[in-house]
Amino acid sequence: MTYPSSNQPITYNLEGMSGNARAGILTTPHGPIPTPVFMPVGTRATVKALAPRDLIELDARIVLANTYHLHLRPGAEIVAEAGGLHSFMHWERPILTDSGGFQVFSLAGRREVTADGVRFRSHIDGSEHFFTPESVMGLQQQLGADIVMAFDECAPYPAEKEYVKAAAERTHAWAERCLAAHQQPSQALFGIVQGGVWPDLRRWSAQYLAALDLPGYAIGGLSVGEEKGLMREALEAVMPYLPAGKPRYLMGVGAPEDLLNSIEAGVDMFDCVLPTRNARNGSLLTSYGRLNIRNGQFARDFAPVEDGCECYTCRTFTRAYLHHLFRTEELLAYTLATIHNVRFLIRLVEGARAAILQNRYAEYKDAFLDGYRPTDPEARARNHEALRAGRRARDQHTA
């Protein structure tokens, strides 16, 4: 069944289900996207360490870019002069642009939130930039993405319920203003459900935004430090209230176990910096867990990163070679590791899609997770704290 969106910049065709897991085709002005889909993150109009030809070989169907960062450098007007993001970065497939709402969370020490918008102090040079729903729509129109996100406030975790509710209320008001300011019929505007880890707030937010009849819906404000059980509970509270005929996008989630659990709940789209960031740190994704290629045990290991992986890295090079590249800080290390990690997650969701169409998704998920060792919760908490500490240090350095 094909579902046209409100203004028909995209269509969503549901091809099959396995339980609540969905397989579909999302059609955009720059081509079709089979779902479920993982979107590599190209924050500044580039997926770090990869060229567009690499992404094509990896069969990335859509990439994500960030409005806040592209506004600061090079400026949305320069991108528009170049013909939009597709021409600027030489990427002919679909693009989604985030609105800058995540930076309300990640740059908490450098911004002021008001009812009208958010005043940012640039992490680059300290200059001030006031983002409103209307200005964000204008910037994303200049960037020219196929899918654009409403401006939202991503609340931190932990936070008091009253604050999270107030942030969701601002998100709702800003979504209405984004819809009123949205003038590009070829761009699909997605709303973003907020509400933290409280199921009642999540349900309320989903119902409010669903009433706006937008072309698609995202779930934001998860995977920001909360326990995985709380994330799953919040997600399951949302899903029954999102329109079945619209794509559903879980923002910022990329751990393999989270992808599979969220697909099972009915999510169609994902993005995350996890595969690219981990790759630059020498952490490689495999079907049995993460592998730290810097470890000395790989110095004489002449096997591929993972047997059976068809990516260029695994077809061509050995663990020993990647170990050598990382130990000697050669730039090729980052490219080869990123190729593998991105392809790993794309292949994982491709397998999920095939299993859904064969109505055997639960079997597929269980078979993978039976052999997979996820990052332990304590290590995950340390990683989140390290990211927060890095942001604080960067804020102090650029103050």
Active site residue 98: yes
Cα–Cα distance for residue pair 51/163, rounded to 1 Å: 41
Partners of 34 in the beta sheet?
25
Cα–Cα distance for residue pair 255/42, rounded to 1 Å: 18
Q: How far apart are the first and last CA of the chain?
A: 53
List Cα–Cα distances, 60 to 64, 80, 96, in angstroms.
Answer: 11, 24, 13
Q: Which one of the listed residues 116, 268, 271, 376 is annotated catalytic?
A: 271
Side chain identity at residue 377, one-letter code: P
Residue carrying the six token digits 């019929």 = 185
Instruction: Write the burial class of residue 124 (CB in 10 Å: 0-12 exposed, 13-18 middle, 19+ buried).
Output: exposed
Active site residue 395: no
Say if residues 192 and 202 touch (Cβ distance below 8 Å): no
| 224 DSSP assignment | S
Q: Sign of dihedral through CA atoms 348, 291, 334, 82?
A: positive
Say if residues 95 and 63 touch (Cβ distance below 8 Å): yes
Give the three-class secondary structure for 83. coil
Please enumerate in sequence order all residues whose Cβ is within 8 A of that of 391, keeping only pairs 6 or more positions apart, or say none: 106, 107, 109
Give the three-class secondary structure for 393. helix
| 298 DSSP assignment | G
Q: Which one of the listed residues 54, 98, 146, 152 is annotated catalytic?
A: 98
Please enumerate in sequence order all residues whose Cβ is within 8 A of that of 147, keeping only pairs 6 or more positions apart, or say none: 10, 28, 62, 94, 95, 96, 97, 187, 188, 190, 216
Count of CB atoms within 10 A of residue 283's CB?
A: 18
Active site residue ranges: 98, 271
